[in-house]
Amino acid sequence: MGLLSNRVERSEIRPGDHIYTWRAVYAYSHHGIYVGGSKVVHFTRKKETESSDSSDSTSSLISEVPSECPTFPDCGFQLPNSGVVLTCLDCFLRNGSPYCFEYGVPSAVFLAKLRGGTCTIAESDPPEVVVHRAMYLLQNGFGNYDMFEKNCEDFALYCKTGLLPVEEPGIGTSGQASSAIGVPLAALLSTPFKLLAAGPLGMATVTAGMYCAGRYITDIGVRKDVAKVEVEKLSLHPGFHLIEDEESVNKPSEKPKTLLPMKRKRER
């Protein structure tokens, strides 16, 4: 990994790594936690129901559940009413390249990477803790998906750090979402200063400075409104209703499903 790119080889990925890959010609990235054995746990929208609008273009773009995997029969494991899914590395990448999200980067490096959603100043917890959180959430859910408040990057950041906003978030911890909001916001807030800037270069410098400052103060490693939340107590946190909480209201108790280990299909 370097200053310009976090791209890694598949052989370099280790259990507990926060990985991501670019979608739609680098328009956005999808994030997940590598848990070993060529498996990735990540967060997307819940399974579509019969009443859902299958023509919703936004839903189809965000959905990250493979229809059928030629390699792993259990690829795409996802409990009902949950957006957390287990897939193989191939289906997660979708022919894209793997990138490794960086933790504990210095402030200068963070600001040098103008694209959000690639690194954080926050430190990562040990790999075994990260994998435990991801597998626990696979069986219990992570609440409802929201592009700006609770997306795939928010999921991976929580698995890596255990940090969540103390109050129910208006904007989550995702650097990618902060960047999407930060560009137009920086342009708007910097408008008065542009009157003092000399020419297009000065105007661009002012806007870039406002954008970088906005990214920095919203990073999970800098924010003061976040705290460690144990994964087993996540259902008590504002905005997080796990699977058992949703089903216990109207449904009788059922025997919980168990996750079978992925087995590679035999080649004929």
Residues with catalytic function: 30, 42, 152
- Phi and psi of 233, rounded to 5°? -110, 15
In this structure, which amino acid lies at residue 15? P
Measured distance CA(40)–CA(19) in Å, rounded: 9
Measured distance CA(133)–CA(32) in Å, rounded: 12
- Our separate counts of H helices and E strands in the chain read 9, 7
The answer to whether 155 and 142 are in contact (CB under 8 A) is yes
The order of strands in the sheet holding 99-100 is 84-88, 39-43, 28-36, 18-23, 99-100
| Cα 68 to the center of its chain, rounded Å | 23
Measured distance CA(27)–CA(142) in Å, rounded: 25
